Structure 1
Amino acid sequence: MRTIILGGTGFIGSALARLLVAQGHEVVIPSRRPEKVPMVLGAQVRGAPFDGKTGAGWADFITPETGIVNLAGENIAAGRWTPEVKARIETSRLAAGAAVLDAIARADAPPAVLVQASAVGYYGARGPEPVDESAGPGDNFLSRVAIGWEASTQGAEALGVRRVVIRTSMVLGPGGALEKMLPPFRLGLGGPLGAGTQMVPFIHLDDEAGAIAFLLHTPGLSGPFNLAAPQAVDSRGFARALGRALGRPAFLPAPAFALKLLLGQMAEEVLLSGVNAVPARLLAAGYRFRHPTLAGALAQALVAAPGPG
């Protein structure tokens, strides 16, 4: 299968591209600098022109056997959510979705499958009870972003495209959120965030890419899927596990008031709230996790993580 990945040079997209190439598939990544794509991901990955708004330059790659994966969107956890940052978070996702629909409209025939990114933030802040894909959305900013992100490509279904929505949790790998956590934990200064009781759904980068590939290549699967490991853990348990993996103490909590003072609404919705998202539909479909436990996922992620200094 040929797979077109929007956001294909990012943390998740690059891992997916490399996995698909290893599986023998053709990968095309629309980019504002398409000539750089093979330099970043290898000569087997092809770049295509992308203006960030339409399918011009890459729609010709769509065939009835093609898969599209839309991962494009502004990072939600880069810092304080100013009004400008919140606008970029929302508009970047809506623009990418509009570009996907435009590309499908330009193509001679629609693709076989579309995998649309979303996040477990769709469910809003929840308690420790398990939440599967049948649960409704929350009512905070992240929920509204996820609702709009998912809806941005819904029009593909009317054209007969099988559409999968992936609600992703925190992805553990060399880079991403883990990279930002490591410095204080390596110094023995890490610990839970706030009270430490909020749930922290996670998935290893290998399983994030593996699950997307599984959903791409398994006919009949459509609708939402939680991309989270089966093991439930709260912030306190996550901190203990990361401390153990690094051989460091991890008992110093980051006070909620300090996080709110520093990061405002972003801290409240990303760091101090959580949801126990469970991969019910993914497990029922037969996906087997490579790293189902937090200890195993952290051990594997830290092997490839850059060291101190």
Structure 2
Amino acid sequence: MSRQPMTAHTAQSATGKPNSTVWSRQYQRYQKHKYFYLMLVPLVVYYLIFEYGPLYGVQIAFKDYMLRQGIWGSPWVGWKHFEYMFTLSPDFYKILGNTVIISLYHIIFGFPAPIILALLLNELRLEVFKQVSQTISYLPHFLSWIVLGGMLITILSPTTGAVNIVLGWFGIEPIYFLGDPHYFRFTLVVSAIWKEIGWGTIIYLAALAGIDPYLYEAAKIDGANRWKQTVHITLPSIMHVVAILFIFKTGSILSAGFDQIFNLYNPAVYSVADILDTYVYRVGLTQLQYSFTTAVGLFKNIVAFSMVMMTNFIVKKMGQEGIL
């Protein structure tokens, strides 16, 4: 008979008490790696204070919150704000539709962009050119949307912007990219890709660096060209990373990018640009409807959690590891 490995759950004495030797070994392991566990403390403290601590305020969604009475003193109203959100709010479904459409654009066009760039950079053989290309693609990530928003407003200006000047050379009429509802979403997606594509390649390049080079040598012997090596070796080797990042991406389907939109949109494009985050900011802070906007935020988080779980289930059914 094969002998099962002894673990903390199975190693017990005849009296039912855990074997002290097992716990001693675990303690020794913790002692050996104590500095690694110590490095987790700031991260745990951060999440406790800034991620789990604010959950205390979620109850505002079920109350008529009043500043003077505080959270505990405000009266309970049950599902009142959710009923208003789904049945009476005249803007909710239009704003929800804008959020979903913009997020889908980001997923369809923005998610594959870092993968494609990482594959292209991985094919470069001139190391200096590769490093310069990576550095240039990373730079926009470190600029805030306030700075980039001002740059885009200047570059895309219909009168003095460089883009419209170049279009004028080809006889094309000036386009108001940030003021025309037909072009605003396109501008959002392209500018978001430009800002984040370089930073998004870091994880994929790390995954590509871990691929066994002997696989490529074997493929060359079998007559596979670069395209076939990419399809049959490179992509399958990084698919587990792609799957995990795709799960996280779908979790933000109702977060279409507050910073970007808030710094670029204007009343002329509210019909296509107003999303849940900007709506919560405008109604919650300027009109002081804290309870209603908390209900909207809670709804958004529930949908995000559901999307993560559903995508994780689908990914695991397709043979990938997932996150759970």
Q: TM-score range by the shorter chain?
A: under 0.3
User: Relative contact order (alpha carbons < 8 A, sep ≥ 6): 1 or 2 greater?
Assistant: 2
Structure (1 or 2) with the greater strand fraction: 1
**Higher radius of gyration, 1 or 2:** 2
Normalised to the residue count of structure 1, the TM-score between the two structures is 0.23
Normalised to the residue count of structure 2, the TM-score between the two structures is 0.22
